[in-house]
Structure 1
Amino acid sequence: MADGRLFIQNPLVRLHWRAFDDEFVAFDQLSGITYRFDVLRAFLLDVLAQGARSETSLALDVSEHLGLSDPSTVPLLVQKILREFDGAGLVEVAEA
């Protein structure tokens, strides 16, 4: 996925969240699907629900959120998670 793309939570997704220790469960009221997310994936979906972001911007947010001194692996991780979200229909992709 190129950085010229912007990602946003799919506007047809209506998630209702519950937190359990170090994971989150989200129920999509429109599809009836329940998802389970770790803290990082929940954080990224929360950021994307607030507006369109690029991969680079999301990687910086994750690095800052986790307080990483060496964020070199974050861009690949964010890219992987965005592919998961896209495959599940949770995000939409638009060219910047």
Structure 2
Amino acid sequence: MYAASPISDFAGHEACGSGSWINPIMINPNGEGDFHAGDDPATCIPYPPNPSNPLCLSRESFHPNDTGTSAYAGVLARTLSQIGYQGG
């Protein structure tokens, strides 16, 4: 059985380090799926967890940035090559 694990590829590129391939905690709107002014406050994930806090945790927090998505693609391509996948 093959597994496409990115763990070794991402070593040294964790969320809060320099050269990170993963976004750190991001606050307030950073993308279309995030909470925006005028939205139902119940859809906001408060940060820190405090219902009276107006800061909302972005859904981009802890997701790969551009370099990270390329690294994930490399892991997948390497794994497909290891199992002999030629495309189809």
Q: TM-score, normalised by structure 1?
A: 0.24
Q: TM-score, normalised by structure 2?
A: 0.25
Find the structure with the greater CA-based Rg: 2
| Structure ranking higher in strand proportion | 1
Higher relative contact order (CA 8 A, sep 6+): 1
